[in-house]
Each structure stands twice: as C-alpha cells, then as structure tokens.
Amino acid sequence: MSVTVRVPAKVNVQLAVGAARPDGFHDLANVFLAVGLYDEVTVTPAEELRITCAGPDAAEVPLDRTNLAARAAIALAERRGLDPAVHLHIAKDIPVAGGMAGGSADGAGALLACDALWGTGASREELLEICAELGSDVPFSLVGGAALGTGRGEKLRTLEVGGEFSWVFAMAERGLSTPAVFREFDRLTQGLDVPEPLASEELLDALAGGDPDALAAAVSNDLQPAALSLFPELADTLAAGSAAGALAGLVSGSGPTTAFLARDAGSAAKIADALRVSGTCRTVRVASGPAPGATVI
Ligand SMILES: C[C@](O)(CO)[C@H](O)COP(=O)(O)OP(=O)(O)OC[C@H]1O[C@@H](n2ccc(N)nc2=O)[C@H](O)[C@@H]1O
Ligand SMILES: Nc1ncnc2c1ncn2[C@@H]1O[C@H](COP(=O)(O)OP(=O)(O)OP(=O)(O)O)[C@@H](O)[C@H]1O
C-alpha cells in the first residue's frame, strides 16, 4: 500500500521584507500564489527510512535526513511515537534552489502522505504547526491557492482570487541559496531605515479582481536587488521577458527563477518561445495560478 500527494510550486507576487530580527529571520508581508508546476511525493512502508528522487534536477536533491520530506516524516513519527520506516519517492518537477518552494512542497507532501498512510488523523492545525517547524514556506505549500504570509511567512491568511493568472518561469543556469540572498539584503540595507513590511492593498484588490494589468502594476519583491547583486545576469532574463511582451517580470522569491506575468495563455506561450531563444536562461516553463495545495491523488 502506498499514498501519493501532489504539491504545487509558488510564486511570490509581493515579497515585502523587514529588518533582520534577533533570531536572524526577517518579518515579511509575503503574498504567495500557488502555480501549476508540481512535485509528487509517494510514501510506501519500508524496512527503514529511505528517499529516492527522479526528475531533471534530481541529482541536486539531498537523499539523506536533511531532505525536507524526510524531516517531515520524522517530525510526524516523533509526535506519535512511531518508527518513520518508509520509502519516500519524490517525482520532482519543481526546479531545485529556484525560489519556487520545491523543497517546501516535498516537506508538505511527505507530511500529508505519512498522515494518510499511518492513519494519524492529525488536525489541519497540527499539520500547519509541523509545517511551520520545517520551514517558512512549508505551511503555504500545504494550503495552496493564494495567501498572505506574515511573521517569517508561516502565519497565513487565505486570499480571494478572482481569476486565473498566466505565468512564464525562466530557470537559471545555477541556483541561489535563500540564506545568502537574505544576508545580501541585510548588507544592501545596512544603515538604512527598513520599513515594517505591509501587504499592498492594490495588489490584494488586483488578485481579488482577477485583473492581470492591475496585478502587473502592483507586483514587487524586496529581495530582487539582493538576488540581482549576487546574480547580475538575471537582469538580461528580465529584459528579454519584458521585450517579449510580459506585463511584468520579477525574481521569484529569493530567486534565481524569474517569473513573467502574461495577459493570457496564448501570450504566455509566445513569451516562453522568445525566452527560450534568448539564450538568457536554462529552461522555460508555463504555468497558471492559483493551483490547489497538497492533495492526496
Ligand atoms: C524567500 C522565500 O522563499 C519567500 O517565500 C521564503 O521567505 C524562504 O522560505 P524557506 O525557504 O522556507 O526558508 P526557511 O527554511 O524558513 O529559512 C531559510 C533561511 O532563510 C532566511 N529567512 C527565511 C525566511 C524569513 N522570513 N527570513 C529569513 O531571514 C534565514 O536565513 C533562514 O535561515
Ligand atoms: N526535497 C527537497 N527538494 C529540493 N531541495 C531540498 C529538498 N530537501 C532539502 N533540500 C535542500 O534545500 C535547498 C533549497 O532547495 P529548494 O528547491 O527548496 O529551494 P527554493 O525553491 O529556492 O526554496 P524557497 O523558495 O522555499 O526558498 C537545496 O539546495 C537542497 O540542498
């Protein structure tokens, strides 16, 4: 017997970042939108905990207990006094270290899959609590749709979305480390007065109205200067997407994936073709959001 859970990637349509807190994390106003690029996590009883991974970026995924899927299984087993003896298989389609919450998706997926396999019957609240222990983005991977994350991004408020938004994602030649990007943000803002992060009302209205032009005018990412500082070539990808007719282009989360908002699916396909021939990125994917959160399939 085995259980498979499908989990979406995310794009941050707004990422407002406050000053570093005493614990090293940053308070955020993080507006997440789940998009239709998915990892699938399958959990099967086994002699002992082991992980396998398949997909284009599989070689970059750790297969030891640092993998967020393994950490999720261990966290739930510990709470129930169970032995986490399972085989976790990750069918990986979300780019690794791309700022699209791929590892977080696997953590949320493994947690939901183990809960179903073991019949632990954890409440939504308990699952969200374990997710928050695993990482700032993990609770959103569980819930999907669209949400405003505050605190370090783990406190979620579900948001209304009035339509489907078409996106093009350009994956870069190499990854960026999330802590390194936050450290660069600290360096770039040293000595400056960093305002308290607040969600933009225009952006929330644009999401609720399903209006791509209004959303394009309101998207923002405070980590973008830090990502560009560590990875200057991303400016060429942003320029190529903009020249191809994207309504807006921005770095996704901590990067280095760049995200382009298109007017509709037809326009997204054209922007994707232009980015593919631009020579400014490794691969290009098209996806729309909102997408549902972690789901047993
Ligand atoms: C950049 C985003 O992806 C935007 O959604 C997230 O803020 C990062 O979420 P994540 O990958 O789940 O991050 P975590 O595993 O919780 O933290 C990794 C590291 O990122 C930095 N970090 C993360 C979240 C946050 N609010 N402030 C931070 O400073 C910290 O250095 C932390 O050690
Ligand atoms: N299941 C996993 N899949 C991918 N990477 C993982 C996983 N578990 C742990 N990692 C580690 O986490 C690092 C970040 O990978 P991930 O794909 O989650 O980045 P990300 O998408 O940029 O994350 P975020 O958007 O949440 O900041 C990887 O380099 C890898 O070492």
Nearest CA to ligand 1 atom 23: 25
Query: Two tokens at 113?
Result: 């899959």
The answer as to whether 249 is a domain residue is yes
State residue 220's pLDDT score: 98
Return the closest-CA partner of residue 189 out of 20, 34, 53, 1.
20
C-alpha 251/C-alpha 273 separation (Å) is 19
The answer as to whether 52 is a domain residue is yes
90 and 216 together in one domain: no
Residue 24 CA: nearest ligand 1 atom is: 29
**Could you report how far apart the first and last alpha carbons of the chain are, in Å?**
14
102 and 175 together in one domain: no
Quick check: helix, strand or coil at residue 117?
Answer: helix
CATH number of 17's domain: 3.30.230.10
Are 144 and 34 in contact by the 8 Å Cβ rule? The answer is yes
What are the catalytic residues?
10, 137
Q: Which of 158, 176, 197 is the last residue of a domain?
A: 158
Bridge partner list, 260: 168, 249
Query: Which burial class, exposed, middle or buried, applies to 186 when counting CB atoms under 10 A from its CB (0-12, 13-18, 19+)?
Result: middle
The answer as to whether 294 is a domain residue is no
Q: Which of 112, 127, 158 is the last residue of a domain?
A: 158
132 and 185 together in one domain: no
18 and 145 together in one domain: yes
141 and 213 together in one domain: no
State residue 229's pLDDT score: 98
109 and 197 together in one domain: no
Residue 137 CA: nearest ligand 2 atom is: 26
Query: Two tokens at 228?
Result: 């560009």
Tell me the pLDDT of the chain (297 aa) as tens digits: 999 999 999 999 999 999 999 999 999 999 999 999 999 999 999 999 999 999 999 999 999 999 999 999 999 999 999 999 999 999 999 999 899 999 999 999 999 999 999 999 999 999 999 999 999 999 999 999 999 999 999 999 999 999 999 999 999 999 999 999 999 999 999 999 999 999 999 999 999 999 999 999 999 999 999 999 999 999 999 999 999 999 999 999 999 999 999 999 999 999 999 999 999 999 999 999 999 999 999
Number of structural domains found in the chain: 2
pTM above 0.95, yes or no: yes
9 and 142 together in one domain: yes
Greatest distance between any 2 Cα atoms in the chain: 57
CATH number of 241's domain: 3.30.70.890
152 and 169 together in one domain: no
34 and 100 together in one domain: yes
State residue 107's pLDDT score: 98
The answer as to whether 295 is a domain residue is no
Pocket mutation for ligand 1, best pick of 31, 150, 178, 194 (most atoms within 8 Å of C-beta): 178
C-alpha 228/C-alpha 207 separation (Å) is 26
State residue 117's pLDDT score: 98
Give the residue numbers spanning the domain of 196: 165-289
- 26 within ligand 1 shell (Cβ under 6 A): yes
Output the CA 136–ligand 1 centroid distance in Å: 6
Query: Which burial class, exposed, middle or buried, applies to 1 when counting CB atoms under 10 A from its CB (0-12, 13-18, 19+)?
Result: exposed
C-alpha 171/C-alpha 163 separation (Å) is 25
259 and 212 together in one domain: yes
23 and 88 together in one domain: yes
C-alpha 287/C-alpha 265 separation (Å) is 9
Residue 135 CA: nearest ligand 2 atom is: 26
Half-sphere exposure of 271 (CA within 13 A, CB side): 32
C-alpha 23/C-alpha 231 separation (Å) is 26
Measured N-to-C along each axis, helices 234-243 and 265-278 cross at an angle, to the nearest 10 degrees, of: 130
Q: Which of 134, 158, 182 is the last residue of a domain?
A: 158
Per DSSP (E only), the strands in 21-150 are 26-45, 50-54, 86-91, 146-150
Pocket mutation for ligand 2, best pick of 26, 61, 66, 92 (most atoms within 8 Å of C-beta): 61
205 and 255 together in one domain: yes
The answer as to whether 204 is a domain residue is yes
